[in-house]
């Protein structure tokens, strides 16, 4: 086990904060990058290599339960554990008044943010077994804001689930950390705020570095 590298699993790794976290962790961790877009993962791999790191790319949708279970089993068989799990996978539905939420948009948002997270935690938890092993979740407290009914409710439910897991593992581990990133020029934000001036927004690389200080 002494020759086993530190390992970081990033779900939703292809762009935005997930990609920035992958690159920031690359000098010290082998990156297990999960995302749906193969091309974006390959671009991320180039950035990781440029940072002096290495990656295993997994072009998967987190809702593909059998595929994610197979990935986690493969990680266990090869390495036995992971040190960090950063869950950045997200879905941004169109903004809509609560009385006009489209059923398909609601189902897709809840599936990604709530159901996907609830299914992943039991798969990933057994891998987070080493000293200091940490799961990272990312809050976006928009619940209750006008037109954010679908996204705000699903995100709040996801974070409630993470908080319960954190309370349950205080003594046994893994450590569960919930961070609140500053507004960043991500694809998710662009869908919510099209046409806004993006220059005042935080660089995802800066936010990744700040958030990783929470890992000590």
Q: Tell me what the mean pLDDT of segment 146-175 comes to.
A: 97
- pLDDT reported for residue 3: 63
Cα dihedral 103→109→115→117 (10° resolution): 180
Please answer whether residues 172 and 142 qualify as being in contact, where contact means their C-beta atoms are separated by less than 8 angstroms.
no
Assess whether pLDDT exceeds 70 at residue 1.
no
59, 35 contact by CB (below 8 A): yes
Give the tens place of pLDDT for each residue, 88-123.
999 999 999 999 999 999 999 999 999 999 999 999
- Cα distances from 186 to residues 59, 60, 63, 168, 209, in angstroms, run 20, 20, 22, 32, 16
101 CB contacts (<8 Å, ≥6 apart)?
A: 93, 149, 150
Which domains does the chain possess?
7-208 (3.40.50.720)
Neighbours of 134 (CB within 10 A): 21
| Least-confidence region, from 132-136, 141-145, 165-169 | 141-145
Q: Are 98 and 149 in contact (CB under 8 A)?
A: yes
| Cβ proximity of 178 and 139 under 8 Å | yes
Q: How confident is the model at residue 216 (pLDDT cuts 50, 70, 90)?
A: confident
CB 13 within 8 A of CB 35: yes
Supply the pLDDT for residue 5: 87
Supply the pLDDT for residue 2: 45
Tell me how far CA of residue 166 lies from CA of 136, 141, 156, in angstroms: 10, 18, 15
Q: How far apart are CA 12 and CA 70, in angstroms?
A: 17
Mean pLDDT (whole number) for 201-214: 95
- pTM for the whole structure: 0.94
The separation between the first and the last C-alpha atoms of the chain, rounded to the nearest angstrom, is 22
């Amino acid at each position: 086990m002494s020759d086993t590298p530190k390992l970081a699993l990033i779900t939703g790794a292809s762009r935005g904060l997930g990609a920035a976290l992958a690159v920031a962790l690359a000098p010290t961790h082998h990156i297990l990058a999960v995302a749906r877009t193969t091309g974006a993962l390959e671009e991320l791999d180039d950035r990781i290599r440029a940072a002096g790191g290495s990656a295993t790319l997994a072009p998967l949708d987190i809702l593909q339960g059998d595929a994610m279970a197979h990935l986690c089993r493969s990680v266990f068989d090869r390495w036995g554990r992971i040190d960090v799990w950063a869950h950045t996978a997200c879905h941004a539905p169109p903004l809509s008044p609560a009385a006009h939420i489209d059923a398909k948009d609601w189902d897709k948002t809840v599936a990604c943010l709530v159901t996907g997270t609830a299914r992943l935690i039991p798969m990933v938890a057994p891998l987070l077994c080493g000293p200091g092993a940490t799961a990272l979740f990312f809050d976006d407290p928009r619940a209750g804001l006008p037109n954010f009914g679908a996204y705000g409710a699903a995100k709040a439910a996801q974070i409630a689930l993470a908080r319960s897991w954190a309370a349950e593992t205080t003594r046994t581990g893994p450590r569960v950390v919930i961070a609140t990133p500053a507004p960043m020029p991500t694809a998710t934000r662009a869908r919510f705020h099209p046409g806004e001036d993006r220059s005042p927004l935080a660089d995802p690389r800066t936010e990744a570095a700040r958030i990783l200080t929470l890992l000590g």
